[in-house]
Structure formats: C-alpha cells, structure tokens
Amino acid sequence: MRISHSLKNMVISLSTQAIMVFLGLISRKVFLDSLGIQYLGVNGLLTNVLAMLALVEGGVGSSIVFYLYRALATNNQYKIKALIRLYKKTYILLSIIITFLGIMLYPFLHYFLKSESMPHIGVVYFLFIASNIVGYLNAHKVALIYADQKGYILTRINFLFSLFSMISKIVILLVTKSYIFYLAFDLLIFIVQNLCNGRLINNRYTFLKTKETTKISEEEQKGIIRNVKALFLHNLGSYIVFGTDNLLISYFIGVKTVGIYSNYIMIINQLSAFMTPILGSMGASIGNLIATEDENKTYSIFKVTYFVNFWVYSVATVFLFNLLDPFISWWLGKQFLLDQTTFYLILFNFYLTGLRGSISAFKDKSGVFLQDRYVPLIEGAINLVASIILVKDMGLSGIFLGTTISTLVTVFWVVPYLTYKHVFKRSSLSYYLTYSFYTILSIISIFLTKLICQHCVKGSDFFTLIEKGIISLIIPSVLYLFLFFKSDEFKYLARIFIGLLHKVNVKRIKLVKSNHF
C-alpha cells in the first residue's frame, strides 16, 4: 500500500509539473520584459525576508505531523482530530505573530534595497505578508492529507489553480505591466484555492466535524514541545545557510544581481520540482514505514531510497552542468549569465544538499530532532561568517563558497551519523563509503558527457540544447544501469516496476472484457 500511494503521488505530480515548468519559463520571460531585472531581484529579496519571518513557526508543524503518522497508522480518529485541532490553534496564533513581526520589520527594508528605486514597495511587501498568512490558515488540513499519503488528491486541484493563475498573470503583465496587480491577483487565487482545498479535505475526513475527541497525553505534549524547541534551532540554522543568500547579495552587491541569480535558482527549482514527486512522494510512506516496521526493514528500504536519490540527483547535476548556462543564454541572453566559479559552486551545493535528501528524510520522519539541535546553528554561523569574509575578496562566488564550507564541516557528517545510530542501529561508515562511490560516478558522468557534447554537438540553438539534454540524461543512466543492474536495490525497484506493469495489464484485460460483454 505504501508503494502504491507513493507511485500514485509521483505519477500525477510529474505529469502536471511538466506543463507548469513550460509556463513558468514563459512567465519569467514575460516578467523580465514587462518589469525588468530590478523587480525580479526585489521578488527574490522579499521571498527571503518572508522565510525569515517563517522561523517563528519553529517546527511546530513537523513535530505534530510526526505524531500524526502514528495516529493514522492505527486509524485513531480521536487522536487525529486532537492533533489537527492543536495544529490549527497554533497556526492561527503564529499567523498573528508573523503579521505583527512583518509590520515591525518593514522600516528596516531600505537597508537591503539601498538606492534602488521601487514605487509602492510598502504595498508589495504587505501583499507578500498576506500570501504567507493565507497559507498558514489552512496548513493543518493540508498536513493531514499529506501525512495520510493522499497528497495526489490535492495535486489535481492545485494544478488547475496554478495553471489558471500562471496564464492569468502572464496576461496581466502583458496588459498592465503592473507588479501590484500581478501580486494581488496571485493572492486572490491563492485564497480561493485554499478555500477549495479546505472544503475537499473536510468532505474526505468527515470525522473532523464530530464533537467527540480525546486529549493529547502529557507525554506527547512534552514530546511536541521538546521537538519544537529543537526544530526551531534546525530551522534557524537552515535559514542562515539557505535563506540569507539573497539578503547578502542585495546588501553587498545589489538587488539586480539577486534577479540574475534568481533565474538560475528558478531553473534549478523547476528541475527539483520534477524530482520532488520521485523523492518527496515517499516522505509520508517513510513516516508510516518507521511507525510500523523494525530497523532492519527500515534500513533495507533506506538503501533503495538512497540509491534512487543518488541516481536522480546525479543525473540532474550532469544535466544542469551541460545545459544551465547555454539555456539561460538562449532564453534570456548572455547578459544574464553568472561567472563560472559562481556557477560551479551553485551546482556543487545543489548536489550536496540533494544527495542528503534520503538520509534527512529518514532522520526527520523518525523524530530525531533533539540530538543535533545545535548543529544547524553552528552550520549557519560558519556560513554567515565565511560568506561575509569571502564576499569581500571573491565577490558573488564567496557567498556560495561559504555555504559549501559550512555544509562540509557540519551536517554532512552529523546527519548520517545520528540517523544510523538512532534509526538503523548500526555504523554509518557504509553510508560515507557509498557516498564517495556515488560522487566519483557523478564526476565521471560530468566529464564524459561534457566530452561527448563538445565533440558531437555544435551550435547554440534550441535543437542543440535538446541534443545536449538527451546526452546528459542517457549517458549517466546507461552507465548506472550497467553498474547496478545486479544490485539488491535495483532488483527491488525492478520487481516494483514489473508488478505495476502486471497490475496495468490485468486492469486492461478486465476493461476489454467488460467492454466486450
């Protein structure tokens, strides 16, 4: 059942994401042509400011969802309802606090915008705040359906809203060239979308409307509070590492550079959106697995997800290495390219973070928050100090080198060690050996595909990009297939694939017979 839900989530998300990526690229081009790079930079800057305000959430949601997995696994509806009510009350309070903090922070915004001219920045800022608050007011219901591995139900309706919103915003930019109208319409659609999602979830989980409930035990309350404290430190550290880049770029270099950098991040995020259904759809399944199986079964599934994680992120890194710069040059122009050192560091950080995805998922879904609560703060402090020092000598690339250094000296070692110790109950040495082997293969794939592209693909038009893309996808995949087809992880995945084909074939035969009669 876990596999079935994960695959259903993955297939639906992948099919809808392809359309959104195409529209997203058109939307970004129209945005730049209509408003300019400065507005794009402001958009990225305010996104980071909101991420800073979101630190108030402190991991409340993740901590409550951890207990939701257990309640859903045993179908304890009273406990589910009690947890959802706690989630709702907490997030209403958080939305009030974030609104207050947003108002308090506004007078300091000019320190990051400096001399950049931006009309109606106050209206823009509070539209961002409002959009953030709307998401909080419905978070408890969304958390329930995803924890129950039914996220694919929302994916369908969210896709329709996103499709309508994306097309409408493109029209708004072409007709009005107004950033205010662009944001206001986006907020309006988001409000309607949240109302529809809430109604859909209420109809599916009708027991939420009943009055009967139970109290959360004192032990669970203490566990939630303990995890929230730990997760706040995790979130704060993560923000300092990943959420301050735009703030530092804006302060030390300029908001226009934020806009140029945001194009790279947009494409990387779009590619990540394709990978999220493959890896992220397994999140709730992992939580259910840990809640119901022993560490040996859990570890065997982890090795499969680690293998999938490597394959996906390795191929993605190879793909970006060969196509990201040429694509931006073709799409927007050479004036929107970053220097090569910065590009390589962005790509390396993408690989470091991505390959840690599977081990982090098992750590988080098992509730291991307390043991490394101070590590993200240390990572964040190293990142901030190193970035500020290096940016003065190296410029933009120094900011990203600071991120690389902080990752390699902290979470790169700590997260696997704690997960193996507390979740799998074994030594983490095998993880690092496998990681080294995977990384060597990724480097070989990069150089191999680069060599083939240089000698076999000429030109810089769109069809050249397609040729490079095909090479970047096929060459590493064939290499990994040749190396791993006898491994236990690959055999496990092959059995799942064959089982799915069998199910599809059985359904097709039944459909043919029913139509015949």
Q: Is the pLDDT of residue 505 over 70?
A: no
What global pTM score does this model have?
0.76
44 or 453, higher pLDDT: 453
User: What is residue 281's predicted lDDT score, i.e. its pLDDT?
Assistant: 53
**In this prediction, what percent of the chain has a pLDDT beyond 70?**
84
Tell me the range of 145-149, 364-368, 439-443 where mean pLDDT is highest. Answer: 439-443
**How is residue 422 annotated by DSSP?**
I
Mean pLDDT of 28-47: 86
- φ, ψ of residue 157 in degrees (nearest 5): -70, -35
User: What is residue 375's predicted lDDT score, i.e. its pLDDT?
Assistant: 85
Q: Is the pLDDT of residue 409 over 90?
A: yes
Whole-number Cα distances in Å, 107 to 102, 103, 125, 442: 10, 8, 11, 47
pLDDT band at 252 (very low <50, low <70, confident <90, very high): confident
Q: Is the pLDDT of residue 204 over 80?
A: yes
Structure tokens at 212: 């009967």
Structure tokens at 513: 């017979």
Amino acid identity of residue 66, one-letter, is: F
User: What is residue 312's predicted lDDT score, i.e. its pLDDT?
Assistant: 92
User: What is residue 187's predicted lDDT score, i.e. its pLDDT?
Assistant: 93
How far, in Å, CA of 333 to CA of 352, rounded? 29
How far, in Å, CA of 234 to CA of 126, rounded? 27
User: What is residue 290's predicted lDDT score, i.e. its pLDDT?
Assistant: 67
Whole-number Cα distances in Å, 173 to 26, 168, 264, 402: 12, 9, 22, 37
How far, in Å, CA of 376 to CA of 365, rounded? 18
Q: Is the pLDDT of residue 506 over 70?
A: no
User: What is residue 287's predicted lDDT score, i.e. its pLDDT?
Assistant: 60
How far, in Å, CA of 490 to CA of 384, rounded? 40
Contact (CB, 8 A) for 357 and 313: yes
Q: Is 492 exposed, middle or buried (0-12, 13-18, 19+ CB in 10 A)?
A: middle
User: What is residue 417's predicted lDDT score, i.e. its pLDDT?
Assistant: 93
Contact (CB, 8 A) for 190 and 129: no
Residues 6+ positions from 307 with CB-CB distance below 8 Å? 484, 487, 489, 490, 493
What does 295-344 look like in DSSP terms, one character per residue? HHHHHHHHHHHHHHHHHHHHHHHHHHHHHHHHHHHHHT-GGGPPPHHHHH
User: What is residue 386's predicted lDDT score, i.e. its pLDDT?
Assistant: 94
pLDDT band at 105 (very low <50, low <70, confident <90, very high): confident
Structure tokens at 155: 């994916």
Q: How far apart are the first and last CA of the chain?
A: 31
**In this prediction, what percent of the chain has a pLDDT beyond 90?**
32
Residues 6+ positions from 126 with CB-CB distance below 8 Å? 102, 106
Residues 6+ positions from 346 with CB-CB distance below 8 Å? 264, 268, 338, 400
- Strand, coil or helix: what is 36? coil
Per-chain mean pLDDT for the chain: 83
Tell me the range of 25-34, 138-147, 337-346 where mean pLDDT is highest. Answer: 337-346
Which CB contacts under 8 angstroms, 24+ apart, belong to 175-180? 177/34, 177/35, 179/35, 179/39, 179/120, 179/124, 180/120, 180/123, 180/124, 180/127
Q: What pLDDT, in 10s, does the model give residues 136-188?
A: 888 888 888 877 777 777 877 888 898 899 999 999 999 999 999 999 999 99
Contact (CB, 8 A) for 476 and 310: no
How many other C-beta atoms lie within 10 A of the C-beta of residue 204?
14
Q: Any idea which residue has 């059942």 for tokens?
A: 1
